A and B are shown apart, each in its own frame.
Chain A
Amino acid sequence: MAEETLRIEVRQLNLFYGQVQALRNINLQVMSGLVTALVGPSGCGKSSFLRTINRMNDMIPGARVEGQVLLDGVDVYGTMDVASLRKRVGMVFQKPNPFPRSIFENVAYGPRIHGQKNPAELRDLVEQSLRQAALWDEVKDKLHRSAYILSGGQQQRLCIARALAVGPEILLMDEPASALDPIATARIEELVHQLKSQYTIVIVTHNLQQASRVSQHAAFFLAGELVEAGTTSDLFTAPKDRRTEDYLTGRFG
């Protein structure tokens, strides 16, 4: 699935939290086989936007969505079942949030609730997911110890393994490295690079250098609007909109 095909198409999306409009008329296409970065200042709506893709905003009281989020042409706000949507669209959060269980159980948890009961297959799946998350070699001898013995960077890769274990097609990452040191950050970025051929990845990041390192497409959000989207290289070297220019050159007060 390395070729670039249209995976997610967002059409005229508006998001309201009660009376407050958090996103205004967003139109964006996300392609498979590459990483799309969402950048913008705090409160610009980039995380809110990310969360509309797997309907995480549904859990917020008063949240209301207008418009369409088409996943392979099917509106996720239509008749699609939310549990099956979230199986297809995995998410990794800013702060590593392993369950208070063993390393093994953290990864096995998802497949189990989705019906995987065969212990041998489950073991294989856990190993495969941990390998994909570049964590296997570091944890293979302590699979049954608590996830909390791991470092922050390892915990974050565990959360990625946990997301991969249920076999998603799309991976949403909300500032996945913002709580990590530069070495752990580099490992996450390397991982994103490896995973992009198999998964469609959308990543929110405050860190412009990170966006430039990991993504091929980028979208700039400001005050609930999508100001500009394009290839990361075009957006970061020659943005078309003055507001993008001012943000990228740090000229916003």
Chain B
Amino acid sequence: MSLRPSPFHDQLESLQQDVLKMGTIVEQALGDAVAALASGDLERAQRVIAGDDELDRMEIAIEQTCLTLIALHQPLASDLRILGTALKLVTDIERIGDHAVDIAKVAVRLDAEPLIKPLVDIPEMAAVVRRMIRECLSAYVRRDPALAREMIGLDDQVDHLYSRVFRDLLAEMIESPDKTRQGAYLLLVAQYLERVGDHATNFGEWIVYMVTGERVDLNA
């Protein structure tokens, strides 16, 4: 028996390219949002906010493609898992996009005012979650559950950094109540990044499912 390609499998392939493209855009948006915050670049923050509509459109288009392919081809086995996974992934990717927008909005609200101190841990958190997203996308394209599992391990670093940011900002705010407003905004940013790590973890778990058929909870 030989394996044969089919128009359906071409469409599945192209769907996965769309998911990859959306993931890449979101990863970039997150980078831009945190950079805008750190540098007080309001224009860059506005670009991130404006870009969200396009991401929403991509999410809807991918969902529609998934539902159409399911309805028309009634896929089974790995084909079904690819479609089920794409449906879940776009939700996680879209949420990450929303958090990028949330962070950009904080940058806008702070209106380039001088920061209480230079941002260190927040950009580091952002670097780790962006690496998680990039590794998710690689694992997705390469269908590599081992890489997905390894990536999920990075979430511990994110959680660790989050605790530190929380503690430090709290201490700053207690010490200097005039820094409370900015401190509260930065706490929100840290929390958004922590949530991004959770979405990336979900992403990794879905990759494991897509490739192996096994639903795992790797964040326990």
The interface of chain A, by Cβ under 8 A from chain B, is 208-209, 212, 236-239, 244-246, 248-253
Nearest first, the 3 A-B pairs at minimum CB distance are A238-B213, A253-B2, A248-B76
In the complex, chain B residues whose CB is within 8 Å of the CB of A251: 3-4, 6, 9
- B81 interfacial contact with A, CB 8 Å: yes
Q: Is B1 a contact of A246 with CB atoms below 8 Å?
A: yes
Q: Report the tally of A-B residue pairs with Cβ distances under 8 A.
A: 47
For A41, give the chain B residue with the smallest CB separation. B1
Interface string of B67-92 (1 = CB under 8 A from A): 00000001111111100000000000
6 A-B pairs within 8 Å (CB atoms) are namely A208-B76, A212-B76, A239-B77, A239-B213, A249-B9, A251-B6
Q: Is B79 a contact of A249 with CB atoms below 8 Å?
A: yes
In the complex, chain A residues whose CB is within 8 Å of the CB of B6: 250-251
For A234, give the chain B residue with the smallest CB separation. B213
For B213, give the chain A residue with the smallest CB separation. A238
For A250, give the chain B residue with the smallest CB separation. B6
CB distance from B6 to the nearest CB of A (A): 6
CB distance from B209 to the nearest CB of A (A): 8
Given A248-B77, A250-B8, verify A238-B214 contact (CB < 8 Å).
Answer: yes
For B79, give the chain A residue with the smallest CB separation. A249
Q: Is B3 a contact of A244 with CB atoms below 8 Å?
A: no
CB distance from B41 to the nearest CB of A (A): 47
Q: Complex: how many Å from CA A253 to CA B5?
A: 9
List residues 19-51 of chain B with CB under 8 A from any CB of chain A: none
For A251, give the chain B residue with the smallest CB separation. B3
In the complex, chain A residues whose CB is within 8 Å of the CB of B3: 246, 251-253
In the complex, chain B residues whose CB is within 8 Å of the CB of A246: 1, 3
In the complex, chain A residues whose CB is within 8 Å of the CB of B74: 208-209
Among candidates B1, B80, B214, residue contacting A252 with C-beta atoms closer than 8 Å: B1
In the complex, chain B residues whose CB is within 8 Å of the CB of A236: 76-77, 80
Highest count of chain A CB atoms <10 Å: which of B75, B76, B212, B213: B76
CB distance from B196 to the nearest CB of A (A): 29
Among candidates B1, B8, B9, B76, residue contacting A237 with C-beta atoms closer than 8 Å: B76
